[in-house]
Amino acid sequence: MPAVILVVDDVPANVKLLEAKLTNEYYDVITAKDGFEAIEQAKKHKPDLILLDVMMPGMDGFETCRKMKEIYEISHIPVVMVTALSEPADRVRGLDAGADDFLTKPINDIALFARVKSLVRIKVLLDELRLRDQTGMQMGVVEEGQNTFTSDVSGSKILIIDDDVVQLKKISEKLSASYTVESISRPETSQNVAVNGGFDLIVISTQLSDTDGLRLAAHFKSHEEIRNVPVLILVDEDDQRAMLKGLELGINDYVILPIDTNEMSARVKTQIRRKKYQDQLKSSYQQTINRAITDSLTGLYNKGYLNTHLDNMVRHALNNNKPLSLMIMDMDHFKSVNDTYGHDVGDEVLKQLSEIILKSVRSADLAARFGGEEFVILMPETDFNQAQDVAERIRRTVESTDMKVSHAVGTIKKTISIGVAYLNEMGDSGAAILKRADEALYKAKHGGRNKVIAAENQ
Q: Does 46 bind its own copies (CB under 8 A)?
A: yes
Single-letter code of the amino acid located at 132: R
Q: Within 417-446, which residues bind its own copies (CB under 8 A)? A: 438, 442, 445
3-class SS at 21? helix
Q: Whole-number minimum distance, CB 225 to its own copies, in Å?
A: 10
As measured in angstroms, the least distance from the Cβ of 165 to its own copies is 27
- Determine, following the binding rule CB under 8 A, whether residue 274 of this chain makes contact with its own copies: no
Contact by Cβ (8 Å): 382, 420: no
Calpha distance 266→393 (Å, rounded): 60
Q: Where are the beta strands (DSSP E) in 154-260?
A: 157-161, 180-184, 201-205, 231-236, 253-257
456 Cβ neighbours under 8 A, 6+ residues apart: none
Residue 373 annotated as catalytic: yes
Is residue 293 within 8 A of residue 301, CB to CB? The reply is yes
Catalytic residue among 143, 373, 381, 425: 373
The answer to whether 286 contacts its own copies (rule: CB under 8 A) is yes
Q: Tell me the number of residues near its own copies by CB under 8 A.
A: 62
The residues in 191-230 that bind its own copies, with binding defined as CB under 8 A, are 214-215, 217-222, 224, 227
d(CA 302, CA 371): 8
DSSP 382: -
* Gyration radius from the chain CA atoms: 31
Alpha helix (H) residue ranges in 406-457: 430-446
| Distance, C-alpha 12 to centroid of its chain | 43
Short-list 202, 200, 201, 174, CA closest to 187: 202
Using CB under 8 A, pick the residue from 166, 177, 289, 408 that binds its own copies.
289
Among residues 12, 58, 258, 342, which is the contact residue for its own copies, using CB under 8 A? 342
**Contact between 364 and its own copies (CB under 8 A)?**
no
When the beta carbons of 343 and 404 are compared against its own copies, the nearer one is: 343
DSSP character at residue 457? P
Only one of the segments 10-18, 33-41, 133-141, 411-419 lies at the binding site for its own copies (rule: CB under 8 A); that segment is 133-141
- Residue nearer to its own copies on the CB measure, 2 or 58: 2
Which one among 8, 27, 194, 229 touches its own copies, defined by CB under 8 A?
A: 27
The contact mask relative to its own copies for 148-167 (x = CB under 8 A, - = no) is --------------------
Cα–Cα dist 293/308, whole Å: 10
- 278 CB neighbour count, 10 Å cutoff: 20
Please check whether residue 104 is in contact with residue 86, taking contact to mean a CB–CB distance below 8 angstroms.
yes
Nearer to its own copies, 94 or 419 (CB): 419
When asked if residue 238 is in the footprint of its own copies (CB under 8 A), the reply is: no
Which of these segments, 2-10, 152-160, 189-197, 258-266, binds its own copies (CB under 8 A)? Answer: 2-10
Measured from the CB atom, the residue of 172 and 417 that comes closer to its own copies is 417
Binding flag, residue 348, its own copies (CB under 8 A)? no
Residues 43/154, Cβ–Cβ less than 8 Å: no
Spatial neighbors of 123 by CB under 8 A, at least 6 apart, are: 3, 48, 49, 76, 77, 78
Residue 112 has φ and ψ, to the nearest 5°, of -60, -50
- Stretch of residues binding its own copies (CB under 8 A), selected from 64-72, 119-127, 151-159, 405-413: 119-127
* CA torsion through residues 225, 131, 71, 21, sign: positive
Based on CB atoms, which residue is closest to its own copies, 265 or 278?
278
Cis peptide before 106 (omega within 30 of 0): yes
Binding part of the chain for its own copies, among 87-95, 165-173, 336-344, 415-423 by CB under 8 A, reads 336-344
303 binds its own copies (CB under 8 A): yes
Q: Which stretch binds its own copies (CB under 8 A): 135-143, 159-167, 191-199, 391-399?
A: 135-143
* Residue with smaller CB distance to its own copies, 4 or 92: 4
Which is closer to its own copies, CB of 167 or CB of 271?
Answer: 271
Candidate segments 86-94, 126-134, 253-261, 415-423, binder of its own copies by CB under 8 A:
126-134
* Closer by beta carbon to its own copies, 390 or else 441: 441
Beta pairing, strands 416-422 & 324-331: antiparallel
- Residues of the shown chain interacting with its own copies in the complex, contacts defined by CB under 8 A: 1-4, 26-28, 46, 48, 121, 124-125, 127-129, 132, 135-136, 139-141, 143, 214-215, 217-222, 224, 227, 245, 249-250, 285-286, 288-293, 296-297, 302-305, 307-309, 335, 339, 342-343, 371-373, 438, 442, 445
Residues marked active site are found at: 373
